[in-house]
Each structure stands twice: as structure tokens, then as C-alpha cells.
Amino acid sequence: MLPRKRTGEGVVVEDNSAASASFHKKPRIGRFGSAVLTAANTSDNSNIAIQSSNSSNCDSSGVIGSSIMALGDLNPTDIDEDLHSRQLAVYGRETMRLLFASNVLVSGMQGLGAEIAKNLVLAGVKSVTLHDVGTVELWDMSSNFIFAENDVGKNRALASVQKLQELNNAVAIHTITTELTKEQLSDFQAVVFTDISLEKAIDFNDYCHNHEPPISFIKAEVRGLFGSVFCDFGPAFTVFDVDGEEPHTGIIASISNDNPALVSCVDDERLELQDGDLVVFSEVQGMSELNDGKPRKIKSARPYSFILEEDTTEYAAYEKGGIVTQVKEAKVLNFKPLREALKDPGDFLLSDFSKFDRPPLLHLAFQALDKFVSECGRYPVAGSEEDAQRLISIATTINENLGDGKLEDISPKLLRHFAFGAKAVLNPMAAMFGGIVGQEVVKACSGKFHPLFQFFYFDSIESLPVEPMDSSDFRPQNSRYDAQISVFGSKLQKKLEEAKVFIVGSGALGCEFLKNVALMGVSCGNQGKLTVTDDDVIEKSNLSRQFLFRDWNIGQAKSTVAASAATSINPRLNVEALQNRVGPETENVFDDTFWENLSVVINALDNVNARLYVDQRCLYFQKPLLESGTLGAKCNTQMVIPHLSENYGASRDPPEKQAPMCTVHSFPHNIDHCLTWARSEFEGWLEKTPAEVNAYLSSPLEYTNAMRNAGDAQARDTVERVLECLEKERCETFENCIAWARLKFEDYFADRVKQLIYTFPEDAATSTGAPFWSAPKRFPRPLQFSASDIGHLHFVMAASILRAETFGIPIPDWVKNPKKLAEAVDGVVVPDFQPKNDAKIVTDEKATSLTTASVDDSAVINELIKKLEQCYKNLPPGFKMKPIQFEKDDDTNYHMDLIAGLANMRARNYSIPEVDKLKAKFIAGRIIPAIATSTAMATGLVCLDLYKVLAGGHKLEDYRNTFANLALPLFSMAEPVPPKVINHRDMSWTVWDRWVVKDNPTLRELLQWLQDKGLNAYSISCGSALLYNSMFPRHRNRMDKKVVDLAREVAKVEIPPYRRHLDVVVACEDDEDNDIDIPQLSIYFR
């Protein structure tokens, strides 16, 4: 773990008006080495072992310090966790603190510079200084979301300040509008140049590389459909966490006394270890020599075992228990300065294996372009064959001088395209590279994730229209799209403007997509229309990445605010914002006509079920679907193209493995089990039971009759809970709530554990004679309540406050005073525990309920109802409870305090390492890690394919599906998978095909229509109803009825007035009685 920030390293508030304020220099990441490393080694790309990579507040044993559970979570922090929770889930606190102390320079505020600056401001660095000596041109409007047309003529840096500042008021935004000097670079931890000559870049990079401490230097360019990144973080840069993943762990089942030793683990979860990994052992009983905390190397890693490179023949024999934990390794990278790297670039980072020979060519092309600009004082003109030939000539000369590194083919055709688009910065390219470079800056400032080492080149030449274009197509039209026209031509621009697009979702992905399409001019023509829908409202946690929203928009509809923001980027955008969820229930809104008129659908969703529904709609109406998603630093894109690619639902990830119910409730062995249980108890206590109470109170007779009619174990349990809540556990004063909380502590963390180990002692055996408490089970210990234990007291405080809320009891201020609360808790009388001999504890891993059915459930329910009716008479008039719905993103409501308290007390029972409230929020709140950089990259990649979709005529091999992990970094692109083809006679079809039968046919006519194709239909269904089956003689009486009338009569289908057809599923055989899967049939009846 990185060392904590010292007091003097806090964020310093600076005067925004200063163009070159004095900055407080942060120590270089590499200088933290002595505090966190077990060994130092500065040789090339050497590895250094780190004992812990977690950002949680753990000591070396992984146990949280007592301050974590302090009242109000008093762990000192300067991070707004409500705002940055999703980002914290990716980076952790230490990385965030380092970012908060980092000053970054972004030079060149065209489209790429704006995207990088946006991502850094959202990430929350201390300051961003914008440098540009140029003025805003109409040309910039194709790629820069910051500028409005009335900014033309203003300095780019100055024109950018206000809108960037709105993204995050905690970040100081500075500007420099004069030529930079090398000395000014010393004010920054990282500097990014997006528009700089190679000569000046080499000069600046030399200064940064040799500076002490080194200044991280990034040079990035976007030229049409081509882009490049170069990184130099200094001669010895330490990466503390190369991938951002949690260390893998395993529960040990056995260790052999061998040389080398074989370690086997329980088959609860795969180990995910690799040969050469370092691991540490803990809690091993018997072979305790391994518990010394020393990292040990492994080999022959398998899913549930590995070989330990150590002689254990003289060690004590293994008895039981033990945890093996991967040790994350730090890595020292020796970057070369640009001057050397240009001549000897080393291995290029590949993105597309179909273009494995492309990076060396682009390395040459960007150098040739720099020489062209230095000689001509301008970029090549789009469509100018003379300029293109001159660039090719320069590239040829450079290549001839490379000696052994000379390329055999410099691809004049590719260089021609490169020359034509060299002046243009395209929005999708800027978005993609803005995400990549923004992430590299975060790495430079924090040592989190592996940097790009050192060159990355990319092109999307396949995005160009397939039809030939002449020089007149590229001619500027004095419009905001001129840069884009210079690459794609005016014909495609017209198609973009007239497109009818549906964006589903306006969260993080949706905001980026709306910005991108607005800048591209999509749906900005007279016939164009963009529809965006989202049923969600804006929350504070959205603001760290959903950049179209501001703090004054909290509580407003996402789609409305996002659409309004998009029109401010491009006033010509024709957008309609809806607040409807896309699903079967809104097919009256998104009807057949709506889908039929669309050009393309872009998903910006956050759940699989909604994606699958939209996928089915796109399949049905044969519309292109551009799909994407993110998870932390990872992102993926999938192009679903009618008749060319498989659909989104054709392949699915396996479902996540769920822990057995008995494990969660009685035998947890990790903190996830504890938090799952805690969330369940929270909802039972504070939401479900109060809601059941209110259901009973609102209509007692109807409620009790329903319970009597059910007469099962579940009904019995429900009535018991309602009675208990209104009788034994009803609270009238806050002191009652404290007593309830204290007794719950005793019940959950002492008595239940005592009962468990009474029923199953430590030496208990199973029916087969094996030890009952064998891995992965952990033997528990009861807790002894102590008011001096801040964790115990914090649990009682949170529980009593929330219990009081459900009963509408005022909460006194003194409850937050530890001394007064302790006095109140000490006054609670706690009965002694008496073990039960007949206690039933579920141990079956296949059990789905903890409730056991009984023959006398109905009789018990009747007795309980009698008591409930008596209790009802004693309630005050109008009594109601207030159910509490779990809300993870409000740190003042005590919800997460209670869940973290429940989970951590249970973790103490089972000697499981505890977590702080933030980590508990991530797990119990099921928070999806998210950062702006991966979102920006994903949407940029999708929009590069949007050009292809709207241009039309592209082949499958022109499209790209992508998986990327910015943490590694890894970029993997491949053409989409084609759909499965079914052949019959001289016909073939795929999942994309839908057969249409018009003129409202009868059943006989439909069967004949199929027979003409050599298909014998033996079954026709609509929904869940069978309209026809050849085995049922009475179905022959239906032959002359219209199919649609049969659907109304038999299937009881209600066809809405906007629907012109009916869909049926037909099962067919060929003449040889082989089943043939045919497409869905649509019967048009009007």
C-alpha cells in the first residue's frame, strides 16, 4: 500500500485568476519506494514485491484498525465519497489522494486536448493548466465539445475554462496563452502535448526526462482516422499495482511434506494464480512454518492446486486450515526519452492483429507528417494529390535512411489517406484517445496501473466510405463539419445529418454518445431525428463521469438534461428526450412505426435484460445495434449488423456463482458472505417486516385470511415476524430502540454462535466421519459486548437510529455522544444464554430456504393470528410503521453504517478480515466500478463504426468488436462473428430473417405457403397457445379461419390498433421428416 499522504501534502486552494500560479510539488511516485517495498531493484522492468496493494485501511494482517468503525466513520479523508464512489471502486483512496495532489499541463486545446482535460477534471486532479496560443476556428467545431460558434476568434485555452470548471469545482483550472518555456514544465507532475512539433517535443521531453524528480511526458496526436501516443515517465518509474485487480486468494485443503510441496485448495472457487506468482500463507495449522509472512514463488498453477518451490519435508505435518494470498508485485519501468525511442521504438502496443504490420508504418508516417509541416508551414490539403505525393516522398526518404530497420512496403495508398485527413481532428478519435491519454496521466500521477510502454499507434481506415470520392467531395463548405468533411466527404456528412437514431440510456455512456453525435452532426439535418430515453434521475454520484450533468441538475430527468446539454453543443441537433423504460410495457410508445423508421440503435444501458430486449427488437426490425459497456478500466464494444454479424443475445456470459444459503447464514468464509447476509438482515428488519406490519394494519381481516389460506411455513414465519415486531419488539421510546439494538447484538454475535458451536462442537464429525469444521468452513467464536469497543458501540448507534425511524420516534442528539450512548447501553438487561438441544441449523448446500415445513403449520398460524388480534387492540389509533428502503449513496442516513457494522461483527465471529464502510458499500451496494476514461474510449470506438453503418455498403471485415483494458493496457480488436446460416433446398436464412405473409391468410393458405417452400408445418403457436397441431383432428376444423382470428379466439391475443401484423412460431419438417428451424413468421392482416 502506498504511504499515507503527509499533512503538508493536502490540496492547496489556489487563485484561479493566475495564469501561472505557484504549484506545490508532489514527490515523485518512485520516491515512495523505500516506504513500501520489500526489495529495491532499478534494473530494466524489474519486479518488486509489495505486501499489500489494497487501498483499504488495513494493517499488515489485513485487519481494519479500530478507527474504521468509529462513530460517523471518523477515518480522516478529503475525498467526497458520494461524488467519487464509482471512481473510488476502481482506484482506491490512496490513488485518489495522489490525484488530488497532482498538477497537470494539457497543451493544445483542439478536440483531443479538450477530451483529455475533461477526463482529468472529472477524475479530480488538483489542477489542470490549459495551454494554447491559437484561436478558436470554425474547423474546431467538428471535435471540440467545449466551444460554441460565438467563441470563434477567442484564445482556445481561455475559451475552455468556464465549461471545464463546471465539471468539477474542486479542480483549479489555469491557463497559459503564450509560448511555453521548459522551465514552466517544472510546475507539473505530468505534461501532455497534443499539437507540438517533433523538434520541440524532443527538447521538452529531454528536460522532463532529466528533471529531478522526472516529469511524466505524454505526446499524443489525432490526425484524421490515425492516432498516436508516446509516453515517457522517466528513467525509473515504479508501478505499484500493474493491473488493479484484487489479490487472488484460496482456502487450503492440504499441503504435502515434499520437495517441492504440492498445495491443494478447496474447489469452492478457482485459484486464478499463474506460474511465477508470489504468495503468502496464513492461518495454517500444523505446518506453521509457512505462516511467517514471507512471499514464496509457485509453479505448475492449476485451478485448485499449485507447486510451492520449497522443501517442506522437515516441516511439521499439515493439519488443517490456511489461506493462500497472492502478493502483488511492483514493477520498475525504464523509459527511454523520445530522442532515443524514435530511432529504437522497441515493441509497439498492438490493437488489431489484422494490422500487425501497421504500427511501424504509422511510426514512419507521423515523422513524415512532422517534416512536411516544418517544410511547408501547413498540413496537407484534403484531396490534394500533390500534397499526398509530397508526404509519400518524404516518408520514402526517411525509410531509405533507416538501414536495417527499413520497411519493405510503405503503402502509398495508406499514406495518401493519412495525408488527406492530416489536418482534421475527428470527434470519435479524440474521444477514444482522450480516454487512453487521460488514463495514462492518472498512471503517471499515482503509479496505479501499468503505463503504455512507450508507443501506441492506431488507425480506423476502414471507417472511410466504400464508394470512391474525388477531390471536390473534401472541399470545405464553411460549416462546423468541415474537418469531418475533409476526411469522409460531403455525401456521408449529408447521410449523418439525415439519420434517425435511437440512443437507449443517457447515463455515462449516453452522455458521451450524445456529445459525440452532436459534434459529428448526426440527426442535425431537416429530416434527421435523435430519440434518447432514460427513466432515471440524476444523482450526485453520477457527476464524476456523466459529464453533461451539473450539481444543480440533481433530481432532474437524465434524458431531458442530457438532451438540452447536447443541443448547447450543437444547436442544430434534432433531439427528443423521453423518460420511458424500453421494454414490452412501452411498445405503445416505441411502436412498429418507430422502429421501422430508425437508421441505427445505440445502446447505453447498464443491465443485461434491457440489452437483450433491445437486441430482440433490432433483430425483429433488422436494425443495426451498436453495443458497448464498461467495468472499471475495462470496456467492450460489439457491432450487431443486420445479416452480417451475430446478434448480442447469441452468446452470453455464464451466470455468477451464488454462495449457498447455508454458507451465507451459518458458515461464511469471506467478507462477501458477511455483507450479503448483512444486506439481507437490513432489509428484513427495516423494510420487509415494517411493510408486512403495515399490510396487516391496513386490512387485518383480509391479511389474516390470506395467511390462513396459505397455511405454509413461509406464512407462519411472516406472521411470527409481524407479531414479534408489534409485541415483544415494539419500541415506544428511543431507549427501547437502544435496548432492541443491544439485544440484537447479543442474539446475532453471541447467542447464535454459542448455539452453533453447541450443536456442532469444534471436534464434530460428519456422517462419513470427516471433520465437520473442515475447509472452507471456519470455526466461529462468540463476541463479548463491550461499550469500550467502538465497533460494538457504532453498531448499536446505527441500529437504534434506524429502528427509531421505522417507529417514528425522534432521535436525540446525545446518541452520537459515545459516553452517553455507552451509559444507556450498559443499562440494558441481557438475559443469559441457554442452549437448545433441538435447534435446527441448515447445513445442506442445496437448500433454498431456512424455513422448515411442519405438519401443524396451519394450527400454529391460527394461534399466532389470535395473539396478533389481541396485540392489535393495544396499538395506539392510527399506528403505522415507516419501512426504510436501502439507499447506499447517502452517507448521512446510517444505512451503510448498519450494514458495515453487521458484516464486520460477523466477520469477527469467524476471524474474517473486516472492511471499512466504503468497501462495504461497494460490495453490499453492488456498485459497478466506473471511470470516465474507459467510457470515453468505448463511445469513441462505437462512433468510428457509426460512420460505417450510416455510410452503408461495408463488409463484415470492416467492422470491429473491441475489448480493452486501460489498466494493462490491452486493446484487442476483431471483426464480428457472422450469424449461423441454415440451408434448405436453394434457400438459406439466419436469425436476422423474418418471413412475411401478407393479405391476411387463412390457416390453410399459410400451410400451403410453407409447403411451396418444401416445409411441412406440424405445429403453429402464438404466445403460449397452440393454434394448430397436425396430431389433433379437431384442429382441421380451423383450416378456413383467418390466422389472426384464431389468435384472438384461441390465444386470447389483444392486438393493439397500432399493430398491423401478428407473429407466430412454426415448427416444420422437410420431406425426409428432419426438423427445420425457420425464421419467425409475421402475418400481416391490415
Task: Kindly list the catalytic residues.
Answer: 662
> Which residue shows C-alpha cell 421428416?
1073
Give the gyration radius of the chain's Cα atoms: 33
Contact (Cβ atoms closer than 8 angstroms) between residue 532 and residue 575: yes
Instruction: Return d(Cα 428, Cα 142) in angstroms, integer.
Output: 10
DSSP one-letter code for 124: T
CB burial of residue 699 (10 Å; 0-12, 13-18, 19+): exposed
In sign, the C-alpha dihedral spanning 186, 187, 190, 192 is negative
Q: Which residues share a beta bridge with 130?
A: 106, 175
All residues at 6 or more sequence positions from 195 whose CB lies less than 8 Å from its CB, including other chains: 107, 108, 110, 113, 132, 221
How many CB atoms within 10 Å of residue 282? 18
Give the β-pairing of 994-997 and 1016-1022: unpaired
Q: Are 193 and 204 a contacting pair, CB within 8 Å?
A: yes
What is the residue whose three cell numbers read 499488515?
60
Cα–Cα distance for residue pair 103/164, rounded to 1 Å? 15
Alpha carbons within 13 A on the beta-carbon side of 411: 16
Decide: 473 and 501 in contact? Cβ < 8 Å.
no
3-state secondary structure of 863: helix
Q: What cell was used for 243?
A: 493491473
Q: Which residues pair with 532 in a beta bridge?
A: 503, 577
- The C-alpha cell 430456504 sits at 849
For β-strands 1075-1076 and 1061-1069, DSSP reports them as: antiparallel
Residue 81 CA to its chain's centroid (Å): 17
Alpha carbon distance 618, 600 (integer Å): 9
Instruction: Give the whole-angstrom CA distance, residue 1082 versus residue 1086.
Output: 12
Distance in angstroms between the alpha carbons of the first and the last residue of the chain: 69
Do the beta carbons of residue 776 and residue 669 sit within 8 Å?
yes
For residue 880, the tally of other CB atoms under 10 A from its CB is: 13
- The sign of the CA dihedral 878, 881, 883, 884 is positive
Q: What does each C-alpha distance from 1081 to 594, 673, 1006, 1016 come to in angstroms?
A: 20, 48, 10, 14
- Picking from 356, 346, 360, the residue whose alpha carbon sits closest to that of residue 399 is 360
Amino acid present at 611: R
Which residues share a beta bridge with 279?
A: 296, 326
Residue among 682, 671, 629 at smallest CA distance from 653: 629
Q: Are 214 and 603 a contacting pair, CB within 8 Å?
A: no
